């Protein structure tokens, strides 16, 4: 006599085995399973008990040796985790696609030049140099795209771009005595989607006493005078 329960048990065993095979295939077919989250570095912000951890990602090759993901530029990270050690709460700096280009550790004895993101000390803010705009439409964020200046508070919240879009930062500096940031940024003057050496570099200021919108320092009339003066003194003389 064969009981129904016995037959049912065989079917359940076969279904369980099929499920295991299916799950294994799903795991191998899911590229996310080859990603390895890396938090290799961290620093404390102003003895606050808040850590910032730059995020990188390793990728293991699949069974055929293939890779699924684009590489992040060397010495950059794709996001940051802010961890409050007093509450064990944590969050990401941004949920957008970004590449953080530079930073420096001010409070860590383990300074590592492999990860450099520009963080200057001020009373309220952290500053970041970031690529966030695929300016040349090649579906990548690279050094060919503009670098912007972003700011957040010291808990890693209120992350915001404060340099003008479509300008590639060449230099910036926070001036504590006047609570301003001065930015030198290159414009794609000829609109060929490249930021070239001979193109215009414009000076902007961000006045934290009046908000965070970048304002061009020199007026159009003053720049017109500069062009006229250069034209007068430096034009090539034809033979």
Q: Is the pLDDT of residue 28 over 90?
A: no
pLDDT of residue 27: 52
Contact assessment for residue 157 and residue 125, using Cβ atoms and an 8 Å cutoff = no
Q: Is the pLDDT of residue 108 over 50?
A: no
pLDDT of residue 51: 95
Distance between CA 238 and CA 198 in Å, rounded?
22
H/E element, 227? helix 220-234
Distance between CA 200 and CA 143 in Å, rounded?
18
Q: Note the pLDDT tens digit of each residue in 120-131.
A: 445 678 889 999
Count of CB atoms situated within 10 Å of the CB of 72:
15
pLDDT of residue 79: 95
Higher pLDDT, 67 or 131: 131
pLDDT of residue 36: 87
Q: Note the pLDDT tens digit of each residue in 38-65.
A: 898 898 988 899 999 999 888 787 777 7
The ranges assigned to domains in the chain are: 34-234
Distance between CA 183 and CA 202 in Å, rounded?
8
Q: Note the pLDDT tens digit of each residue in 178-193.
A: 989 999 999 999 999 9
Count of CB atoms situated within 10 Å of the CB of 35:
14
**% residues pLDDT > 70 (the chain):** 79
Higher pLDDT, 7 or 124: 124
Q: Which residue bears the tokens 């000829």?
A: 190
Nearest Cα residue to 147 out of 179, 113, 172, 125: 172
Distance between CA 154 and CA 90 in Å, rounded?
13
């Amino acid at each position: 006599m064969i009981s129904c329960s016995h037959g049912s048990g065989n079917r359940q065993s076969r279904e369980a085995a099929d499920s295991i095979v299916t799950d294994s295939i799903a795991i191998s077919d899911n590229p996310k399973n080859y990603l390895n989250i890396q938090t290799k570095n961290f620093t404390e912000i102003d003895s606050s008990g808040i850590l910032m951890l730059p995020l990188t990602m390793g990728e293991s090759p699949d069974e055929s040796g293939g890779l699924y993901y684009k590489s992040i530029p060397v010495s950059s990270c794709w996001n940051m985790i802010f961890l409050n050690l007093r509450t064990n709460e944590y969050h990401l700096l941004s949920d957008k696609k970004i590449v953080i280009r530079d930073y420096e550790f001010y409070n860590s004895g383990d300074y590592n030049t492999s990860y450099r993101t520009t963080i200057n000390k001020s009373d309220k803010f952290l500053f970041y140099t970031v690529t966030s705009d695929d300016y040349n439409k090649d579906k990548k964020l690279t050094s060919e795209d503009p670098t912007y200046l972003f700011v957040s508070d010291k808990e890693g919240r209120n992350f915001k771009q404060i340099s003008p879009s479509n300008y590639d930062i060449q230099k910036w500096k926070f001036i504590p005595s006047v609570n301003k940031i001065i930015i030198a940024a290159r414009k794609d003057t000829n609109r060929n989607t490249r930021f070239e050496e001979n193109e215009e570099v414009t000076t902007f200021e961000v006045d934290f006493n009046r908000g965070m919108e970048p304002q061009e320092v020199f007026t159009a009339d003053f720049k017109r005078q500069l062009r006229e003066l250069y034209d007068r003194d430096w034009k090539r003389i034809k033979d």
